[in-house]
Structure formats: C-alpha cells, structure tokens
Amino acid sequence: MNNKEKANEYFRENKLKIKDIERPVYHFTPDIGWMNDPNGFSFFDDEYHLFYQYNPYDIKWGPMHWGHAKSKDFVNWDRLPVALAPDDEIKGQCFSGTAICDGDKHILIYTVHNDGKEEQTVEAGDGVNYRSISKASVIRVEHLPRGFSGIDFRDPKIWKEDGIYYCIVSAKNESGLGSILLFASTNLIDWEYKNILFENNGDYGKMWECPDFFKLHDKYILVVSVMEMQAKGREYFNGHQVLYFVGEYDKKLYRFTPIDKARTLDFGFDYYAPQSLNVNERTLSVAWLHDWGNDLTPDGAKWCGQMTYPRELELKKNIIYQMPATELEKHYENEYKTSFCLSNDNKFQDTELNSRVARLDLDIEKIDAKECIIYLAANHRYNSFIKINFKKKTLKFSRRFSGLTKDAIDERKIDIDVKSGKLSLSILLDRFSVEIFVNGGKKALSSRIYTPVEANEISFIADGEVRVDACKRDIVE
Ligand code: FRU
C-alpha cells in the first residue's frame, strides 16, 4: 500500500469518529487530523475544489499531504480522497501550491519539500485522481537566478494567459528576505526564469510565503503571507501576517510596481495563506483561519484547522473590500430584525437575537456616546467582545474571556472609519470562530474562539446614546 492509499484508508476508518457538534457548522474543517493552508482553490467541472495542507494522522503539523474536497456552496462539501501524499516517487512532502483548470485537465502545482530543499512539481488529474506529468520537479534549484538557493523556495501560484503558463514562487534571497520570482512555460514541464516580480525591501518581515497575484478591477494585487513581521502603528502586528500591495504589472518586464505601502488583509488573530480564485466575474478568496503562533487547540481535539468562509473581493479606491460569498445566503434561517437605542450603561439584550451560529449585521450610529460594546458568544461566564471608541475611531476585538486556557494573543485594536458617527459591522459567528467585516468589508478580523457552544448570547452596552439597527440570521447546514 502506498502512502496515498494508507492515508485514504486511515481517513475512511476514522472520519466518523468526530461528532457533528464538535465541528464548525459552515467553516470547512478536515474530517480528522491537522489542516493548514488552502491549496489549489479552483473551479473545475462546475464545482469549487479546495485542497489543503493535510496530516491525517495527528492534530499537529506532520508529513504533508493534500486533502481534497469540492462544493457548490462552500457549506456542504464532498470529501474526496487525499490527492497528494509524500511518497517514494516524488521523495518529499507535498507543500502548498495552486491549481488551474486547463481544458479537461485539472492541473496542480506544488512544492516538494525534501530535507529543507524545495522545488516545484506538477500533477494533472480528472478532479479526483492526479498523476505527476514528469519524473523530476519542473521548477528546480538550477532555474534560480544568482543569490538564491533551494532553501525556502516554495508555494507556486500558477495562471495561464494567451496560451502561456506563468508561475510565481516565493524564494528567500541572500539577505533572508522574501522575493517573488516569476517563471514561464509553454508546456508545464520546461520552465524559464523571467524576473523578480517584486521583493521585500526589509520593511515587511523576512521570508514571504504563499504569494498570490491577480487582477482586481483595473489594478494588480500581490498578496504575501509574511513571516517575522514587526509591529508598526495599528496597521502591522508582530509575527505572521497577510499583506497586500495594489499596483501595476508590466507584462514585458515581468515586474510589479506597487502604488502604495502594503496593507493588512485581515486584522484578526487567525488568518494566513489566502488563495484567490477568479471565476464568473467574481474574485473569491479563502484563507486558513488559524495562526502558527497561537497554539489554542483544546486538548483532546480530533481535528485542527479550519478555513474562513470564502469571501468576495472588490477594489474601491485601491483598498480591498471583502464580504462573505453570497452562497451563504441559501443557508440563512430565522431572520430577525430589530432597532434599539442604547443609553447610560444599561445593557441591552433581546433573546431573539441570541445565536451562536449566525450572521449578524449591525448599523451603528453614535448619538452621544464615547464607547459602545457588543458581546458575542456570551453567557454568565464567557464572552468575546467588540469595543468601538467613536472618538478615537478605533475598534478592539477581545477574546480574553472566551474560555482560553492557553497563552495566546487575545486583544487587538484597529483604526476604523466612523463617518458622521456611523459604522456598519457584519459578523459571522460559528462554533469556533468569529469573522468581523467593518464598513462593508473595508477591514476584516478573523479569529478562533473555543467557547462552549451553549454561550450564545449577544448583547450591547454604551456609555451614552447609540442607535443600533440589527439583523440576525441563523446559519444552518
Ligand atoms: C505556510 C506554509 C507554506 C508551506 C506550508 C507547509 O503556512 O509554511 O509556506 O508550503 O505551510 O505546510
């Protein structure tokens, strides 16, 4: 039995051991084991395919396989056999990569990681089974320009334009900084190095992982998952963080030039390695709702790792706006709308609003107040909260009292727009996560929580007068 068959047998035998209540309702999770980055997010044969960095055997990172699932609505997933497994043929682990649909073939490109050395390899398949198209890796260390080695050379992103395949790969340069290298090919097997698409000048952490590059409206977007970022103001924070640059792409020089400094794609505690997908005039994006630095997984858990609910991206005045993909609307139930006024530190609670698995849309207007707090996933013991300071124009998310028992970052404050005292929030709540979209998705914050699921209260408080229009919809499978 090879490693792929072994992984699939293990997966079949163990997947039913996790009770439904132990999983998120509409955020993708592995059936058993550990998951990190989304991989190969693509549209093939009228369905969305999602692969993922996968270790079926443990809830910790380990030998990397590619798990695989497909869906039409991102809520109900058809779990497919493990697509890639480390084996004797490719001699290494299957690290992150991307996919395209090329005629009737589904093409996967990914990093083979072997003893620290990294190269890129390609497989083709029919949506279920995949096979290597060449004996050796296709983008190899020998393709690298001077100053680069095969150490930290990973996470290819592929696209096809005018009959030519292009691929960017992240590589660490001699100064230890991430550079995005661009390669081209006419047949997926023979690749030629073209240029450094863009590189880290030292302002943005060290190594960059999981580069993504796509057109959004009239601009090009480069997204990078940054390692060892250092905090600066309220835009950048320490550790792993996802940044995006908006800019122009010179197709002759194979060079990207940003028009502005990098912005943070998501300010939550748990957001990494997003992948985009352009399909039917939409740009979708999905990310790992997790962070390498925060080890929060409760002891005894049987799975680890969840994805964000996919988002639709828009570019407005060179800022990416993100909102949950509209497929979610088919899963709304029990819509409840209400309007109320908060005043003088009186806690407002309407039991009809309570829910732990829901979308909550709020239009908030300051009449005369400094602060307003929204409690979520709460009961007498636990809560997570969003605190808005109208004067300082800040929003703080806290999961300090969400039931954490491990040492993890639990509060973050960001700058927000409060125009004429008004702002809007859309909140996606699930059993193990909170995704917050501020002002139509101009800023997003995604975080895990492991609060007992009975904690389902939603309440509000303000130190003065604040008007709130609220709409809650439960989300069902
Ligand atoms: C990002 C990452 C990638 C790598 C993969 C390994 O989270 O470190 O750079 O390909 O995870 O699982």
Residue % of the chain over a pLDDT of 70 = 99
Are 10 and 85 part of one and the same domain? Answer: yes
Query: What is the best residue among 60, 66, 96 to mutate for testing ligand 1's pocket, by most ligand atoms within 8 Å of CB?
Result: 96
Name residues contacting ligand 1 (CB within 6 A): 36-37, 53, 64, 95-96, 111, 154-155, 209-210, 272-273
Atom from ligand 1 closest to the CA of residue 210: 9
List pLDDT tens digits, range 19-29.
889 999 999 99
Is the CA virtual torsion 193, 262, 410, 465 positive or negative? negative
pLDDT (0 to 100) of residue 88: 67
Same domain for 335 and 268? Answer: no
Whether 319 maps to a domain, the answer reads no
Q: Which two tokens stand for residue 457?
A: 């209260």
* Among protein residues, the one whose CA lies closest to atom 7 of ligand 1: 37
The reply to whether 187 and 294 lie within a common domain is yes
Same domain? For 58 and 181 the reply is: yes
**Residue 322 counted as domain residue:** no
Residues 6+ apart with CB under 8 A from 293: 239, 240, 409
Domain boundary among 313, 337, 352: 313
Residue 418 lies in a domain: yes
**Does some domain include residue 235?**
yes
Q: Is residue 36, in this structure, part of any structural domain at all? A: yes
Query: Can 58 be counted among the known catalytic residues?
Result: no
Which pLDDT belongs to residue 12? Answer: 87
pLDDT of residue 284: 98
* Number of domain units in the chain: 2
Residues 61 and 102 reside in one and the same domain = yes
Ligand 1 centroid – CA 425 distance (Å): 31
The whole-angstrom separation of Cα 436 and Cα 446 is 6
Assess whether 259 and 362 both reside in one domain. no
Tell which of 252, 287, 313 closes a domain.
313
Q: What is the 3-state secondary structure (H, E, C) of the chain?
A: CCHHHHHHHHHHHHHHHCCHHHCCCCCCCCCCEEEEEEEEEEEECCEEEEEEEEECCCCCCCCCEEEEEEECCCCCEEEEEEEECCCCCCCCEEEEEEEEEECCEEEEEEEEEECCEEEEEEEEECCCCEEECCCCCCECHHHCCCCCCCECEEEEEEEEECCEEEEEEEEECCCCCEEEEEEEECCCCCEEEEEEEEECCCCCCCCEEEEEEEEECCEEEEEEEEEEECCECCCECCEEEEEEEEEEEECCCCEEEECCCCEECCCCCCCEEEEEEEECCEEEEEEECCCCCCCCCCCCCCEECCECCCEEEEEECCEEEEEECHHHHHHEEEEEEEEEEECCCCCEECHHHCCCCEEEEEEEEEEECCEEEEEEEECCCCCEEEEEECCCCEEEEECCCCCCCCCCCCEEEEECCCECCEEEEEEEEECCEEEEEECCCCEEEEEECCCCCCCCEEEEEECCEEEEEEEEEEECC
Contact 472, 331 (CB under 8 A): no
The domain of 275 spans 3-313
Q: What is the pLDDT of residues 209-234, one digit of tens each?
A: 999 999 999 999 999 999 999 999 99
Boundary (domain end) residue, out of 313, 347, 370: 313
Residue 108 C-alpha to ligand 1 middle, in angstroms? 16
**36, 151, 226, 294: which to mutate for ligand 1, most atoms within 8 A of CB?**
36
Per-residue pLDDT reduced to its tens digit, 426-444: 999 999 999 999 999 999 9
Query: Which residues is 170 bridged to in the sheet?
Result: 154, 180
CA–centroid distance, 335 to ligand 1, in Å, is 39
Ligand 1 mean position, distance from CA 408 (Å): 21
Q: Is 0.85 exceeded by the ipTM? A: yes
Tens digit of pLDDT for each residue in 78-126?
Answer: 999 999 999 866 678 999 999 999 999 999 999 999 988 999 999 999 9
Candidates 37, 152, 212, 430; catalytic one: 37
Name the closest-CA residue to atom 6, ligand 1: 95
Q: Say what the pLDDT of residue 91 is.
A: 75
How many A from CA of 37 to the centre of ligand 1?
7
Judged against a pLDDT cut of 80, whether residue 295 lies above it is answered with yes
